[in-house]
Amino acid sequence: MNVVVVESPAKAKTINKYLGSGYKVLASFGHVRDLPAKDGSVLPDQDFEMLWEVDSASAKRMKDIADAVKSSDGLILATDPDREGEAISWHVLDVLNKKRLLNGKSVKRVVFNAITKKAVLDAMAEPRDIDVPLVDAYLARRALDYLVGFNLSPVLWRKLPGARSAGRVQSVALRLVCDRETEIERFISEEYWNISALLKTPRGDEFEAKLVAANGKRLQARSIANGEDAAKLKSLLEGAAYVVDSVEAKPVKRNPGPPFTTSTLQQAASSKLGFSASRTMQIAQRLYEGVDIGGETVGLITYMRTDGVQMAPEAIDAARRAIVDQFGESYMPEKARFYSTKAKNAQEAHEAIRPTDFYRSPDRVRKFLDADQIKLYDLIWKRGIASQMASAEIERTTAEIIADNNGQKAGLRAVGSVIRFDGFIAAYTDQKEDGEQSDESDEGGRLPEINARENLAKQKINSTQHFTEPPPRYSEATLIKKMEELGIGRPSTYAATLATLRDREYVTIDKRKLIPHSKGRLVTAFLESFFTKYVEYDFTADLEEKLDRISAGELNWKQVLRDFWKDFFSQIEDTKELRVTNVLDSLNEQLAPLVFPKREDGSDPRICQVCGTGNLSLKLGKYGAFVGCSNYPECNYTRQLTSENGAEAEGGAQNEPKNLGADPVTGEELTLRSGRFGPYIQRGDGKDAKRASLPKGWKPEDIDYEKAMALISLPRDIGKHPETGKMISSGIGRYGPFLLHDGGYANLESVEDVFSIGLNRAVTLIAEKANKAPGGRGRGTPAALKELGEHPDGGAIIVRDGKYGPYVSWGKVNATLPRGKDPQAITVEEALALIAAKASKAPAAKGRAKPKAKAAASEGKAMKSAAKPKAKAAAKAKSPAKTKKS
């Protein structure tokens, strides 16, 4: 019996069916070791020795693998065919070697690009050794990312409070987003006019022609710069006679694009399906690992982390046969098409993403897939088969027209296209069962019959004003495209990089556009000022190229680290002498449009409008940056920094307090203000003034006197409880709206309930809260923080916020997240590992622990002893094992 190790349980389940009883397929659940998230895991002074950690969930997985290997004939490492997959195999092998379990046993490494029976069996017949240069490239990348993150992030924490982290690729991606925002802020719009004529042929057909020349001069884009010039040209056309000067019909061929790479798939899924990059990869992973198709589990697509654009020869042959069968002979070109990528530093080590079987059309597999899976599969299948189809044949017609107004002449042009043969376009429209050629169809607008030298009748002259627009903000798709063009990151990193920017709250997404948050702008400005080299696009791309050369065996990975660390460490050391005032001066200058937005009255945006004499500047507080007055504490004006050109909050709360009226009891003024933590209501002045933040969902522009009084008067007394005689009150706290009675709390559904709930309803809610669990204590289902998708065995995997911290929930299994783990950053593979580890634990016995508990603890099992005297032993057992890689 041979043990086969793959990453995921879904993949293991599929492959096990292909290999039969002579093999035992086990899942590692992704990486089995990682660098501990603390300082000292990579040691530059010891030639970059790396200390690896096996967490409790991975320890359980490795124990299962180790136990199986003990009684096996050999080990087959069948993880994914990329750098990360090679690294997982290396980690598994290294752990087993340290346990001395492989003496005399056969160890093989196999890779396959698709999870089909043929692909798997072919791979088993051609094993190889671990690719050491590929592992070295992984080690170098992991060390670089660690060294940047764990040395640069503390500098940010000291010099820029509120900043969460910096990363080698993450910070450069953030710079792209922030640089685009700066372009938008500094963009100056320009006016221009477009003029066109609606004309009619002698046969009564109408069409539109655009003005392209006037008075002997060719008009360029935006040549007509103002309304006065536009009016003169329109007047010329209004009184002109029109004649067709020439008509030219030119055949044009349009070729299909290559099959998808990781980045182009993510771009297409974003623009056409609205999927995020991470969602696209989750769905693609499931299609790759295997889907039950009528009783047969099979992978529907090839490996989805690739920058290659070429298909394997046998796949090209299969695609050409499918084209003939499904579209007809005329749709198959004489020769197969071959593609090469234009992306910088592309490795092209793997196939493009394609269907594993082109005869499995979307219609044939639709009933086996969920809605999102069929959408993505449809996209991949059509792009894959279209890439080998014949070119579309288009006839593009151009008509040149002369307008003559008493000797003043102007030129107009009308352009239209007709598809004479749809070719590969047929893959994106209705599939033809009989292979007949498609009917003629328009592409971009079809012109009526127009003949040279014939006269045309003027119907209408259109003159429209336009203004140039700033460059658009990046979407996930366009940012990935830009990163790929620059050679920043790799296919396996795009989704994770974008997720990190969101999780760190460096960017927000609005209508699929990436908007840098103020803290993201600050981090980027800081890095550009004091770590310029490390956020340069060329430097990052050059480092990626070096990693590729390591994987090709051309560079020594430790020498690359030595060269990087020497300059980087020196830069870190230089910042120790950096003063906060230097930082603020630089940020004030770089972020002037954000920090000091222009004022409508034209006054100096750097002068405090409250005291009139102080200078405004960025200030750094415990919770991040804000704008404050230099006359503090005499002037306590502050303004929160936002991502919308410095304008505070959403409308009403501007730079100055807004007076709402006086409190009828105290006579003090109520004002709507903007602070470091958002808009709020204040009653009175000075340190003793009462303040109340606007609840979530309340917009400053909607706040009037009544709402302000209701908010500042909280808590609100509702009435006395009929049984206890004690007052029930409502309010808004740290965790939302609540009821308070006799020291106990009950949650309210909405903020509005705080101001409207009556005594009867309040009593009912308090009673329901008291009856939720024995003893009057209990909790409802905790809030869902993130939905990860379906478990391979069925049922949703959800991350929830529990009483003792975030945890992963699947059915009745609840697994607590490791301390410090961001619940928004957890992956499906990590969740599956936690769930499996939790499910495998035996229930803890009540009372005294059994004698085996101590033995289990000493062996390193991640189990908690129920007996208090054994707590220390259990805690010691939970400590991760450490190994070294030099």
Other CB atoms within a 10 A radius of the CB of residue 768 amount to: 12
* Best mean pLDDT range from 480-494, 535-549, 687-701, 845-859: 535-549
pLDDT confidence of residue 782: 63
**Who's near 704: CB < 8 A, 6+ residues apart?**
660
pLDDT confidence of residue 434: 33
Sheet arrangement for strand 727-733: 716-720, 727-733, 736-741, 744-747
**CATH for 461:** 2.70.20.10
Task: Examine the domain organization and report whether 81 and 97 are in the same domain.
Answer: yes
Task: Examine the domain organization and report whether 251 and 397 are in the same domain.
Answer: yes
Per residue in 313-363, pLDDT (tens digit) is 999 999 999 999 999 999 999 999 999 876 554 554 578 999 999 999 999
Q: Is the pLDDT score of 866 beyond 80?
A: no
Task: Examine the domain organization and report whether 272 and 383 are in the same domain.
Answer: yes
pLDDT confidence of residue 358: 95
Task: Examine the domain organization and report whether 44 and 123 are in the same domain.
Answer: yes
Give me the sign of the Cα torsion angle 344, 347, 353, 354.
positive
* Predicted TM-score (pTM) of this structure: 0.69
Task: Examine the domain organization and report whether 202 and 279 are in the same domain.
Answer: no
Task: Examine the domain organization and report whether 84 and 179 are in the same domain.
Answer: no
pLDDT confidence of residue 843: 52
**CATH for 562:** 1.10.460.10
Domain boundary among 529, 555, 578: 578
Contact 91, 77 (CB under 8 A): no
Q: Is the pLDDT score of 280 beyond 80?
A: yes
Q: For residue 399, is it within any domain?
A: yes
Q: Is the pLDDT score of 718 beyond 50?
A: yes
Task: Examine the domain organization and report whether 338 and 365 are in the same domain.
Answer: yes
Give me the sign of the Cα torsion angle 58, 59, 60, 61.
positive
Q: For residue 596, is it within any domain?
A: no
Q: For residue 602, is it within any domain?
A: no
pLDDT confidence of residue 140: 94
The phi and psi torsions of 166 (rounded to 5 degrees) equal: -135, 155
Domain boundary among 776, 805, 828: 776
Task: Examine the domain organization and report whether 33 and 116 are in the same domain.
Answer: yes
Q: For residue 267, is it within any domain?
A: yes
pLDDT-derived band at 294 (thresholds 50, 70, 90) equals confident
Coil/strand/helix, residue 247: strand
* Catalytic status, residue 303: yes
Task: Examine the domain organization and report whether 121 and 6 are in the same domain.
Answer: yes
pLDDT-derived band at 794 (thresholds 50, 70, 90) equals confident
What is the domain range of residue 453?
Answer: 191-255+393-467
pLDDT confidence of residue 803: 65
Contact 213, 411 (CB under 8 A): yes
Per residue in 33-69, pLDDT (tens digit) is 999 888 889 999 999 999 999 988 889 999 999 999 9
Tokens for 770, please give them: 């008291």
Domain count within the chain: 6
pLDDT confidence of residue 774: 45
Of the candidates 146, 303, 331, 637, the residue annotated as catalytic is: 303
Task: Examine the domain organization and report whether 329 and 346 are in the same domain.
Answer: yes
Q: For residue 73, is it within any domain?
A: yes
Q: For residue 457, is it within any domain?
A: yes
Where helices occur in 778-867 by DSSP H, the ranges are 828-840, 852-858
Between 514 and 880, name the one with better pLDDT: 514
Buried b (16+ CB within 10 A) or exposed e, 791-804: bbeeeebbbbeeee
Task: Examine the domain organization and report whether 485 and 452 are in the same domain.
Answer: no
**CATH for 109:** 3.40.50.140
Per residue in 749-783, pLDDT (tens digit) is 888 889 989 898 899 888 888 776 444 444 455 65
Q: For residue 107, is it within any domain?
A: yes
Q: For residue 617, is it within any domain?
A: no
**Who's near 851: CB < 8 A, 6+ residues apart?**
none
Task: Examine the domain organization and report whether 101 and 150 are in the same domain.
Answer: no
pLDDT-derived band at 95 (thresholds 50, 70, 90) equals very high
Beta bridge partners of 475: 513
Domain boundary among 578, 612, 632: 578
Give the span between the Cα atoms of 15 and 10, in whole angstroms: 9
Per residue in 217-260, pLDDT (tens digit) is 999 888 999 999 999 999 999 999 999 999 999 999 999 999 99
